[in-house]
Structure 1
Amino acid sequence: MTTVLLAGAFGKMGQRITAMIQASDDLEIVAAFSPVGGTSPDFPVFTKYADIDVQADVWMDMTTPAGAKANGEFALAHGFDTVIGTSGLTADEQQALGNLAQANGQHLLMVPNFSISAVLLMQFAAKAAAYFPDAEVLEYHHEDKLDAPSGTARATAQIIAANRKAKPRTPESDAAARGDRIDGVQVHAVRLPGFNASEEVIFGAPGEALTIRQDSFDRSSFMAGVHLAIASVNGLPDALTIGLDTLL
């Protein structure tokens, strides 16, 4: 049985994660951390770090980028292996948390997207980028999504750039209508009601095109990945691991 302290338990994703853990046979939620408060009949809820008096195998964080950074610093310094599922942390912030995990003998797993289909999309995009260097990423999220582009879109663009074997034909553009540019890959963010989370990568070449797309219609699509991350983080070989693809 893997015990879990969940930060962000009362948000939309947190509530789904709580239900998933409570329904599982191998995970147990023993506490929650929520500075804004909240109550549960099933586990204690702590609002301050100083009040936390329980230990768990895993600190699972589904808060904001700023919250996840501070929570990660506390968790890794106080004996928790940690899973952070909040996108928006910079590469320097991720590495700093990884260094803290290393210094304290803990494991940190950073997951920009818990959807298995999103992870597979990135793996397929890496394969395609070797043959189609010209690519653009489009991501679609609900209107409450704070960061834009999403962490998944950023990761996808970086993967495409890392796996190119030829220089793209399409010139880079700073025009606002062309979206953000991440490692030379154009990325576009859509925020509209009706969407949950979707990503599309379009590869173009003379006379042909390839489109790879994944859609998460409901937050239930993330639960298998969350379960896998929580169940696996204690046994990871490195102090810092980024991405769920390492576990597939």
Structure 2
Amino acid sequence: MGKTSLKVGVLGAAGRMGQTACSAVMSDESVELSAAVDLNADSAEVSFDGVTLSGELGDFFKAKVDVVVDFTVAEASRTNLPLLAEEGIDAVVGTSGLSEQDFEWIDQKFDKSSCLVVPNFAIGAVLMMHFAATASPWFKTAEIIEYHHNQKIDSPSGTALATAEMMHAASDEWENDPTTKENILGARGAKLEGIPIHSVRMQGMVAHQEVILGSTGQTLTIRHDSTDRESFMPGVLMAVKGVGGLSNGLTVGLEKLLGIE
């Protein structure tokens, strides 16, 4: 008897990331696209290799999916994730804008299955964050600049926030910003854990971030660029295949699956 493929559902399947994720799942023989759902879909005429785009969350339950990949928005995730948790379905979440308070209830709700929230699916970006945290104890100043396409609705990005948190966990000895006057409010960025974060939104970009660390006489710049959404798909597939092996409750980031936490 052949090995049963992992049954995958994609939520937010009509969006750019959702469509790319559907294509990636269909291209991998070890997983099966069993349901594609978008609650805001205007038409059910779109199909992915025979899987018709649906507007009903219940189609995940009818298809008996093992894992759902969520590429919606934070407000929708707050409604949909508890329903997946009740059914014991694993979830991989690529939604931006979830808060620490969200993480608390997600961890509690997923007592029968696992939820993996991923700030950035690009493996290079995860390594960039890891390298920045590794370098942090050796520098006294740092700033983060993140760049995204102009359709991104939140700022700063989840990747930038996660990077600052990781850097703070590695070192809390950042020097205070000497700036005492901003000629334009916000010119020095928004600070998290003492690290300024700057957001750029522009046509022609996908997802980019650089971390600049400085000390006397030297700077270190760590940068990652995603120029195509295909760059996220190896991480999406890694998450889909790996989430079932994680402990019940919440896990944040691909680090555990990459063995670099």
TM-score (norm 1): 0.94
Alignment of 1:36-185 (within 5 A): 36-37=40-41, 38=44, 39-40=46-47, 42-50=50-58, 52-102=61-111, 105-164=112-171, 166-171=173-178, 175-185=185-195
Matched AA of 1:185: I
Contact 2:174–2:194 (8 Å) recurs in 1: no
Selected match of 1:14 from 18, 22, 47: 18
Pair 1:144–1:150, CA change in 2 (3 A): same
The separation in 2 between residues aligned to 1:15 and 1:155, in whole angstroms, is 26
The separation in 2 between residues aligned to 1:101 and 1:50, in whole angstroms, is 18
Selected match of 1:33 from 23, 31, 37: 37
The separation in 1 between residues aligned to 2:199 and 2:88, in whole angstroms, is 37
SS in 2 for 1:127: helix
Contact 1:141–1:196 (8 Å) recurs in 2: yes
Pair 1:172–1:99, CA change in 2 (3 A): farther
Partner residue in 2 for 1:239: 249
Identity %: 39
More divergent stretch after superposition (64-73 vs 15-24):
64-73
SS in 2 for 1:139: strand
| TM-aligned CA deviation for residue 133 of structure 1 | 3.1
| TM-aligned CA deviation for residue 206 of structure 1 | 1.0
Equivalent pairs, count: 246
Question: For each residue in 1:48-76, what CA deviation from the matched residue of structure 2 results, as whole angstroms up to 9, or x when unmatched?
Answer: 34565221110110111111221211111
The separation in 1 between residues aligned to 2:238 and 2:56, in whole angstroms, is 28
Work out whether 1:222 is the aligned partner of 2:232: yes
The separation in 2 between residues aligned to 1:61 and 1:28, in whole angstroms, is 16
| TM-aligned CA deviation for residue 238 of structure 1 | 4.3
The separation in 1 between residues aligned to 2:57 and 2:152, in whole angstroms, is 27
Matched AA of 2:88: G
SS in 2 for 1:212: strand
| TM-aligned CA deviation for residue 42 of structure 1 | 1.5
Pair 1:172–1:2, CA change in 2 (3 A): farther
SS in 1 for 2:72: coil
Runs (4 or more) in structure 1 with deviation over 4 Å come to 171-175
Contact 1:133–1:165 (8 Å) recurs in 2: no
Question: For each residue in 1:191-239, what CA deviation from the matched residue of structure 2 results, as whole angstroms up to 9, or x when unmatched?
Answer: 0011110000000111111100000010010010000000000011342
Work out whether 1:192 is the aligned partner of 2:196: no
The separation in 2 between residues aligned to 1:186 and 1:159, in whole angstroms, is 14
The answer for unaligned runs of 5 or more in structure 1 is none
The separation in 1 between residues aligned to 2:148 and 2:126, in whole angstroms, is 17
RMSD: 1.7
Partner residue in 1 for 2:214: 204
Matched AA of 1:157: A
The separation in 2 between residues aligned to 1:201 and 1:49, in whole angstroms, is 39
